[in-house]
Chain A
């Protein structure tokens, strides 16, 4: 078997008395979409922050491309090829969309004109072509989510951590962005996406990990995961799976 591009091994992260992430292991191979789902407060964003270097793990390791990269600072991980978006969008508010994306493009291109050109190209790719010269703070929620995606893409990542990029988008916006994400995986990027939009996540993902109260409670194909009673209970409360079985006679 080929070593997955990203491998998380027994990562825990504690905030005082709260074990937000508890011995989580998961892996994400290149050219595939891995979904990370789970109820609010499950520890999904915290896990992303550990992988991308914004938080140090209390225990465990993050391996990237066969190397142990645990605890490296975010900028170095970005250079290695791990990019993330923020669930709470973090635009460079005073800059135009083009200049926002160009910051990402500069990671691998020193020349200003090359970075700006690439920013334009990536901006068009994610559907921001019309808005390139607008200041980022004038964008709608959907626009800001796209900007997060565009900036991360401009760094030419090998691993892309998407934290709820579909949240806050309306169905037609989701229909527009889903093929773009699919295309990225086809291009060879290992995509890990946190999603609350179950339908979108399930239709996109090759593999799904379910996080609840800091622990991975299920993993498998989308079909396997939705059939898992433990997953249903994590979302709908204790005993829900049994009640559903009784109600629907499965």
Chain B
């Protein structure tokens, strides 16, 4: 249980935010940040723990969003069921992309390119197919209520996305403590050595891809319920592929809190810059680039790595002082 205490503390602290912060602008910012953290945590399972860098997690985000929207608007399915179906559909797309890419033995940049290609194909299909509303997209009917997963209050949406992020944090921690996780990390570190030790590298990567896709799809499902709109550029656009991979890379790949920390830092910097300079197109990408360069230069293991390094560096000094004080 001890291993889950940090998650409980962080989530509990974040859960108190709406109690003292009532600004809709700030809550909206936090909702979007947590949604990106969720998408990033999905990427982190496959990329961070498994070392398989996807450039196309939009494929899962968009699928989650579209399936949730289509089931509600075209088939009258309940929003919560739609949400669950969206996650499942994302997992299926993950299984298909992963099955094809890993079966073909694609690694590193080839894998990245194939995931990117899948997302692009889906984006083009979604922008022409009638069922996805083609170029117009899908607008969800406003229908406030718990049954329809639509809330007047931003605070409730905030708690919903926080709960989803909490689940994703717990999944990462469970992964770290499981045999599957040990195998996944082994595949990341050295695939041949892992196979020699009995690890079915294909199955492990595929499993990670499915979990990863499901989590990122959940972020897409949430997007639709929150903004009540989806189109091809949003759902399958490269923006979300980029945010999903940059937040854990900046925060710290293969760590429980990397994606969350990365999302908070990157999004805060983005908003801060917007306040100062106004809304310049592409500003967010410039900020990502700058932060990424700084992180790669000064904290190659991400912000979480930098924090633990600082802690390890300071701890012996603190212990020494304590010892000296005791003997002094």
Contact = CB atoms under 8 A, between A and B. Distances in A.
Interface of A: 52, 54, 73-76, 78-79, 83-84, 86, 90-95, 99, 102-104, 106-107, 109-112, 115, 151-152, 154-155
B192 A106 contact: no
Interface string B167-211: 000000000011100110110011011111111110000000000
A54 B185 CA distance: 20
B198 A92 contact: no
Contact of A92 (B178, B186, B201): B186
A151 B197 contact: yes
A102 to B, nearest CB: 6
Q: Is the interface of B mostly helix, strand, loop or mixed?
A: helix
Contacts of A92: 185-186, 189-190, 193-194
B299 to A, nearest CB: 16
Interface range for B:
10 to 19
Contacts of A95: 185-186, 189
A93 B178 contact: no
A99 B190 CA distance: 13
A74 B196 contact: yes
Given A86-B193, A92-B189, A95-B189, A115 B198 contact: no
A93 B189 contact: yes
A75 B195 contact: yes
A145 to B, nearest CB: 14
A102 B198 CA distance: 12
A120 to B, nearest CB: 15
22 contacts: A54-B195, A75-B195, A78-B198, A83-B196, A91-B190, A91-B193, A92-B185, A92-B186, A92-B189, A92-B193, A92-B194, A93-B189, A95-B189, A99-B185, A102-B182, A106-B179, A106-B197, A110-B179, A112-B177, A115-B182, A154-B197, A155-B198
A219 B183 CA distance: 39
A106 B182 contact: yes
Given A106-B179, A106-B182, A112-B179, A75 B193 contact: no
Contacts of A99: 182, 185
A94 B189 CA distance: 7
Given A92-B186, A115-B182, A151 B198 contact: no
A91 B194 CA distance: 10
Which of A74, A83, A99 is the most central at the interface, judged by chain B CB atoms within 10 Å of its CB? A74
B189 A78 contact: no
Contact of A155 (B182, B190, B197, B201): B197
Contact of A78 (B186, B190, B196): B196
Contact of B198 (A75, A91, A112): A75
Nearest to A111: B179
A161 to B, nearest CB: 9
B196 to A, nearest CB: 5
B178 to A, nearest CB: 7
Contacts of A104: 197-198
A115 B182 CA distance: 10
Nearest to B181: A112
Contacts of A107: 197-199
Contacts of A155: 197-198
A93 B190 CA distance: 8
A86 B195 contact: no
Contacts of A115: 179, 182
Given A79-B198, A151-B197, A155-B198, A103 B182 contact: yes
Closest 10 CB pairs of A and B: A78-B198, A92-B189, A107-B198, A90-B193, A74-B195, A103-B186, A104-B197, A75-B200, A106-B179, A90-B190
Contacts of B190: 90-93
B182 A112 contact: yes
Interface in B187-245: 189-190, 192-201
Contacts of B197: 78, 83, 103-104, 106-107, 151-152, 154-155
